[in-house]
């Protein structure tokens, strides 16, 4: 399946959400881009050369995979702005793993939801981001080391409003 960027309303209301890099799981294929609907995305602004990409990682009972996911982000060739791990009421060691990463790297933060599901966890984490771009990464997935750099390059093109990759 391939991601899409459409003129349909997003489930979030802030205009900056339309400037996101739609970076979902295991996207090792070539990055694609999409034009905004006629008239452009409301509130969209050009992305600067040094714009950070914040990464949102919803996690629930991801003890077996979260360490590998966050380690790959930390070691990627392009450093993310912030990494917000949204622990969705985990009952295993997920939160402890996320907090260990946050203790070692100030770019990592942990927020919590009371088990309301991955959408609520993503939405909470979105309210905590401050970067010009947002990428989503599930706790049981990893990206190729060049994923964020490829997305950042695409998003600097003023004609691109959203970017996605093969999943």
- List pLDDT tens digits, range 53-102: 999 999 999 999 999 999 999 888 788 899 999 999 999 999 999 999 99
Q: What is the pLDDT of residue 166?
A: 67
The structure's pTM equals 0.72
Query: Residues with Cβ < 8 Å from 32, sequence gap 6 or more?
Result: 2, 3, 163, 164, 165, 166
Q: What is the pLDDT of residue 6?
A: 31
Is 25:165 a contact under the CB 8 Å cutoff? no
Burial of 4 (0-12, 13-18, 19+ CB in 10 A): exposed
Q: What is the pLDDT of residue 47?
A: 56
Q: What is the pLDDT of residue 70?
A: 96
Q: Strands, DSSP E only, in 91-145? A: 108-113, 133-136
Stretches in the chain below the pLDDT threshold 70: 1-50, 166-167
């Amino acid at each position: 399946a391939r991601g899409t960027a459409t003129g349909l309303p997003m489930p979030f209301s802030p205009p900056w959400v339309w400037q996101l890099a739609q970076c979902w799981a295991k996207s090792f294929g070539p990055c694609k881009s999409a034009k905004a609907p006629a008239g452009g995305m409301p509130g969209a602004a050009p992305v600067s050369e040094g714009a950070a990409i914040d990464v949102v990682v919803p996690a629930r009972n991801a003890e077996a995979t979260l360490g590998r996911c966050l380690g790959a982000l930390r070691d990627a060739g392009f450093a993310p702005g912030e990494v917000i791990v949204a622990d969705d009421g985990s009952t295993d060691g997920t939160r402890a793993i996320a907090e260990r990463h946050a203790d070692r790297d100030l770019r990592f933060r942990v927020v919590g939801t009371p088990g309301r599901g991955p959408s609520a966890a993503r939405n909470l984490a979105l309210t905590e981001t401050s970067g010009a771009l947002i990428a989503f990464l599930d706790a049981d997935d990893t990206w190729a080391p060049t994923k964020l750099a490829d997305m950042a390059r695409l998003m600097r093109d003023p004609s691109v409003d959203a970017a996605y990759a093969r999943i």
